[in-house]
Structure 1
Amino acid sequence: MPSRESVCLEEMVWPEVESAIEDGSRTAIVAVGSIEQHGPHLPLNMDTLDGDEISRRIATELGDALAAPTIRPGCSGHHMEFPGTITVPPETLMNVIRTYCRSLDEHGFEYIVLIPTHGGNFGPVKTVAPDIARELNATVIPLADLDEHMNLLNEGLSDAGIEYDQDVIHAGAAETAMVMAIDQDLVRAEAIESGPEGDISPARLLSEGFESITENGVLGDPTQATAEAGEVIIKNVVETYVDQIKTERDAV
């Protein structure tokens, strides 16, 4: 059998997966993304692109992990005023995550890392992870601190020399930069436009929907974004999460 080159589960054939697990790749990285509007300039699968890239890089950095396909859609009801958005109820997402993890556990993965990349998914992941952990043999590691995730994105901008941050990040400088770094062609540069800034209430966004605050679905100024900054942001997230995963595995 040829040597396995990809760390992405969906790109492998089953004998390669079996061999990888037998050879010690017993950590599965599971991003939890979405299909939702990201302004007039970013694709609906932004959070899924982000999840794919981050999970692949984390698996590569760990060296003994595989990146499972990103779960989507997610809990995006607050974006439903914008066409194309697809949402599921929190209980549906939690059931999908639960059964997803059961499959990975049954195949012999000893650690399952859950990484939400969409704000509406952090709560469901944090809620369901302890229940899953009690049910499975595998250790479940949820990296579901939304404030930390936002801070990592803002810190990445700062490290790239862009002094700009937002308390609530959506389709602005950070996410636009990340898509630029992943696939520049997916950004509709001619359609980039800014959205509201300043004191934005997350509670209002969730209860009344994004359209109550932003007509174009954007928060902040995506014109600040660069592909170079996106690369720094992604590296910042990956390095932080790799360290946390190693710490959690060592503690078991």
Structure 2
Amino acid sequence: MSSRRSLLLEEMVWPEVESALENGTRTAIVAIGSIEQHGPHLPLNMDTLDGDELSRRIARELGDALAAPTIRPGCSGHHMEFPGTITVPPETLMDVIRSYCRSLDEHGFEHIVLVPTHGGNFGPVKTVTPDIAREIDASVIPLADLDEHMQLLNEGLSEAGIEYDQDVIHAGAAETAIVLALEEGLVRTENLERGHEGSIATARLLSEGFKTITENGVLGDPNEATAEAGERIIETVVSSYVDHVETERKTVG
């Protein structure tokens, strides 16, 4: 099994990257996270922690890939009523993604996998992917189906024995479980609070902001979360995403 350092681009030295490329590493995984409020109990970098872990595990499972540094911040304008949130315009995020892909393409990576972990980043990733694909030689593989992503999180909870299905996931059972699994000390368990439950209009969330729906920034009940469920969620997402990447790489040759 590859060591952590041999998978993380940012911890390597350039001759190691050159050697990896020469020895058949052809895929780079780029997660796109955020710095935004996740209720009174989860850190602002929740989506970035998630992105770091997903990109590392996907690279490890593929066996011939490296995890690029997670892009942050993301498009989080709908969270700006909560202090600490940092947001960038969609055009800025798309420019950064474009620059990442151009750089990786120039070094010889043949497949670049984009993994948004924050809902507000899925649209920009989908929008910019065709443009990038026309500009560079590498294939660009966006794992940017938000409905599928939410479904995988709910599936992971269910497989861990927690029946708590949410259409829109933010700082509730699923995301709290992920942070418990990855960095338990970052969860302020004394501040666990139930948030808004029931149906939510995503368009309203994005246009009017989270504060119009949830005072504490939470959707659902984080008290349902366990570290075991978080591990199961991560495994579920990684397994599905690895299958997607392998299928896409075969398609493009």
TM-score, normalised by the number of residues in structure 1 = 0.98
Distance in 2, Cα, partners of 1:20 & 1:249: 18
Deviation at 1:59, TM superposition (A): 0.2
Offset from partner CA, 1:27-84 (integer Å, 9 cap, x none): 0000000000000000000000000000000000000000000000000000000000
Q: Does 1:66 align with 2:84?
A: no
Matching residue of 2:213:
213
DSSP 3-state at the match of 1:7: coil
Cα distance change of structure 1 residues 19 and 46 upon mapping to structure 2, 3 Å threshold: same
DSSP 3-state at the match of 2:218: coil
Matching residue of 1:40:
40
Offset from partner CA, 1:181-206 (integer Å, 9 cap, x none): 11111101001101010011111110
Q: Which amino acid aligns with 2:33?
A: G
Q: Which amino acid aligns with 1:90?
A: P
Distance in 2, Cα, partners of 1:192 & 1:17: 42
Matching residue of 2:241:
241
Matching residue of 1:116:
116
Distance in 2, Cα, partners of 1:95 & 1:106: 16
Aligned 8 A contact 1:8 1:67 in 2: yes
| Corresponding residue pairs, total | 250
Distance in 1, Cα, partners of 2:91 & 2:31: 17
Alignment of 1:1-252 (within 5 A): 5-252=5-252
> For the aligned residues, what is the CA RMSD?
1.0
Aligned 8 A contact 1:155 1:233 in 2: yes
Distance in 2, Cα, partners of 1:46 & 1:21: 31
Cα distance change of structure 1 residues 240 and 99 upon mapping to structure 2, 3 Å threshold: same
DSSP 3-state at the match of 2:167: coil
Q: Which amino acid aligns with 2:112?
A: I
Cα distance change of structure 1 residues 38 and 102 upon mapping to structure 2, 3 Å threshold: same
Offset from partner CA, 1:172-231 (integer Å, 9 cap, x none): 000000000111111010011010100111111101100001111000000000000000
DSSP 3-state at the match of 1:47: helix
Deviation at 1:6, TM superposition (A): 2.5
Cα distance change of structure 1 residues 191 and 10 upon mapping to structure 2, 3 Å threshold: same
DSSP 3-state at the match of 2:177: helix
Q: Which amino acid aligns with 1:58?
A: I
DSSP 3-state at the match of 2:115: strand
TM-score, normalised by the number of residues in structure 2 = 0.98
DSSP 3-state at the match of 2:242: helix
Q: Which amino acid aligns with 2:238?
A: V
Deviation at 1:5, TM superposition (A): 4.8
Aligned 8 A contact 1:105 1:137 in 2: yes
DSSP 3-state at the match of 2:140: strand
Distance in 2, Cα, partners of 1:110 & 1:212: 44
